Chain A
Amino acid sequence: MASAAPTPSGTHPEARADARADVRLWHDIVRETLKANDVRLVTYVPDNVLKGLIASVHADPFFTAFACTREEEALGIVAGAWMGGMRGILLMQTSGFATLANVLASLPVAFQIPTLMMISERGTLGEFNIGQALVCRTMRPVLTSLAVEHHTLTRLDELEFTVDRSIKQAMATRAPVALILSPLLTGGKVFKA
């Protein structure tokens, strides 16, 4: 712990030596906000940063949560479920998002299906893998070119508001939304030499 890299203060309780038991972790806030908005289906291709969120939705019987083999598949499932009356979210890593442009354009955007997406952001703020750093650059341009609403989540104190309002807007306007989990919020994945 003593040699740990500096972490942003106030935003990442897990990384703070003085973390208090009553401080809610980012993934507790996300889980509770999903629940409050009746988002029951969670499909994912895992990522290390998402580990806590994935474990906590699996532990809560409110959610139907499972791993998929590809992000495209996971997005198709969420789209079908929404048309069937069940709200869902897809959890993935930056690299997984990079596989989605065709499906995003042809399914949720074209058919006006509010698929929720949460992306753990690799490739920035201390990335050690050049592949991640390069593919990360495609994420916001793809979202922007398809006019998909997206927000980068950096602060614990804004998290609930942003997630809650984004879900509500997606449902009301029948549009997909992408919530990007910045390392500023989560601590990211740290290079261990």
Chain B
Amino acid sequence: MQASETKPIGPGNAQVMNRFELTKRLVAKLPEDAAVIGGIGNTNFDLWMAGRRPQNFYMLGSMGLACPIALGVALAQPQRRVVALEGDGSLLMQLGTLATIAMLKPKNLTLIVMDNAAYQITGGQPTATAVGTDLVTIARGAGIAQSAWAADEEMFDELATQALTKDGPWLIAARIDDKPGTGTTDRDPVVITDRFMRGLGTKK
């Protein structure tokens, strides 16, 4: 966190990283029982490729809902750490959920935004973050005080460690490159629900 004391980290000076690399770093740090909700497309795909954990939920088609689904899990299981992985386009679609999360202040919830400044999976059309929208500033304004840009991989690790051990809610944003997701998820929703619920201990 020294970096943030010298110069505030924003989308302008944060390093451009890679989603799959960051996802692997995150997964390596997760407590075994932590739940992770992937967003539509690439965040899901890289989560899938970073290792099949039964505590991962891979949503299909409900663009913008990784954070609300994660919030629901976090409310139902306050002892479990819950992480949402979301793209910038998806978060922009459901910005209101930042206010809802700020209002409820779930201690066990972390949101991670992979900001490639584009709707990459639909052809790379730029999102508003390409021309100045700062999702960390928005999150802070919504009331999630513990929101920060990761300056580099090391800082991403530090922020993730904090978020997984101290009281949340947290939002970590990372600028990422335009590499596509590294694989594709299984697309059988009933199997996904079944595995996830067994992973959460809500189905025997």
Contact = CB atoms under 8 A, between A and B. Distances in A.
Interface in A65-121: 66-70, 72-86, 88, 102-103, 105-107, 110-113
Contacts of A179: none
Interface residues of B, number: 37
A41 B75 CA distance: 9
B37 interface: yes
A75 B100 CA distance: 13
A129 interface: no
Interface string B171-193: 00000000000000000011011
Nearest to A80: B72
Contact of B99 (A69, A80, A81, A113): A69
A113 B190 CA distance: 9
Contacts of B74: 80, 84
B96 A113 contact: no
Contacts of A72: 62, 64-65, 68, 94
B170 interface: no
Q: Chain A interface residue count: which class?
A: 20 to 34
Contacts of B201: 85
A112 B76 contact: no
Contacts of B70: 80
Interface string A149-169: 000000000000000000000
Task: State the majority secondary structure of interface residues on B.
Answer: helix
B60 interface: yes
A64 interface: yes
B57 interface: yes
Nearest to B98: A69
Nearest to B104: A66
Given A76-B71, A84-B75, 16 more contacts: A66-B100, A69-B97, A69-B100, A72-B94, A73-B65, A76-B67, A77-B100, A79-B69, A81-B75, A83-B72, A83-B202, A84-B35, A84-B200, A85-B202, A106-B59, A112-B190
